[in-house]
Amino acid sequence: MASGFFALLDDIAAIMDDVAIMSKVAAKKTAGILGDDLAVNAEKASGFISSREIPVLLAIAKGSLINKLIILPIAFLLSAFFPLAISIILVLGGLFLAYEGAEKIYEYFFPHKHISTEIKIQEYTEEEILALEKDKIKSAIVTDFILSVEIVIIALGTVIEQPISSQIVVVSIIAILATIGVYGIVALIVRMDELGYKLIGLNSKERSINKFIGNILVQALPKVIKSLAVIGTIALILVAGGIFAHNIDFLHHLFNQWPSTVREFSFGLVIGFLVFGIVTLIKLLFEKK
């Protein structure tokens, strides 16, 4: 009886080890998307008055959890009854990521021309401010839904050949960690300047360590958000290229002598600009009509 109990414990430990290993692999695969998710949400959660930043962030995080509760069961059902759909969605998601990355690069080198308009200072009522806040939260949750689909599908793609029970555990872990990790870091980022101002106010001396650190934190916030946007763009292309390299047979055997990072980035960049060109052409044709 005792030996049977210890054998069961060994089996459970082995399963947990397998889950930990698979979760680690899935986390690496989704790291690129998480980088973009972080950059997008840091931008979406900033721009509010100090007292509203955390409540807004909590509202977006709650929406993100609801998104994942919707996406996860659908993904597991597809994996169980129509696994080919996971590969198809992966490739389609890769095309979207590659397009998004290419669009960001194009926008950086050829920014849209903005028509100069006279800026009018307008005072908003409390109801109007709350309405604008709700609109921004809804927009952030919609964006999160798209990114959550990509995170779940990429994580699921790494364990698609495993039993459905392992898939559920691993992908659920990644989904929860993605939400807690991303929004936890975003909360730290958006409060960085507030902490800086508090440090500056602690000391009346012109030269003090508090003011020095405080000024660094205040000045660093916009640079951190901008850096995250650049890192997120590179990550998007790398993730997309990795999807193409592992799920498209022709590309899987192409340029195998190249380093994997260079190879995947090249695939993501080339295909991204091809998709971007096609989408731009379609838009131009519709505009002419």
Q: Which long-range contacts (CB under 8 A, 24 or more apart) does 59-64 make?
A: 59/137, 60/137, 60/140, 60/141, 60/144, 60/183, 61/179, 61/183, 63/137, 63/140, 63/141, 63/144, 64/141, 64/144, 64/148, 64/179, 64/182, 64/183
In angstroms, the CA 146 to CA 63 distance is 12
Q: 188-211 burial by CB neighbour count: b if 16+ within 10 A, else e? A: ebbbbbbebeebbeeeeeeeeeeb
DSSP state of 161: T
Q: Tell me how far apart the terminal alpha carbons of the chain are, to the nearest angstrom.
A: 78
pTM over 0.95: no
In angstroms, the CA 246 to CA 244 distance is 6
Judge whether 177 and 157 are in contact, CB under 8 Å: no
Q: What is the pLDDT along the chain (289 residues), one digit of tens a residue?
A: 444 433 433 443 444 454 455 555 555 555 556 665 666 666 666 556 666 777 888 888 888 888 888 988 988 888 888 888 888 888 888 888 888 889 888 988 887 665 544 545 456 566 766 777 788 788 778 777 877 887 888 788 777 777 888 788 888 888 888 788 777 877 777 777 777 777 777 766 767 777 777 778 777 777 777 777 787 788 778 878 888 887 788 887 788 888 888 888 999 999 999 999 999 999 888 877 6
| DSSP state letters, 40-98 | HHHHHH-SS-HHHHHHHHHHHHHHHHHHHHHHHHHHHHHHHH-THHHHHHHHHHHHHHH
The helix (run of H) or strand (run of E) holding residue 271 is helix 260-288
Query: What residues have CB less than 8 Å from 29, skipping those under 6 apart?
Result: 154, 155, 157, 158, 239, 242
In angstroms, the CA 55 to CA 85 distance is 37
The pLDDT, as a whole number, for residue 204 is 67
Judge whether 233 and 207 are in contact, CB under 8 Å: no
The pLDDT, as a whole number, for residue 271 is 92
Query: Could you give the number of structural domains in the chain?
Result: 1
In angstroms, the CA 113 to CA 110 distance is 9
* Domain that includes residue 181, residue range: 2-288
Distances (CA, A) of 144 to 78, 141, 179, 182: 21, 5, 10, 11
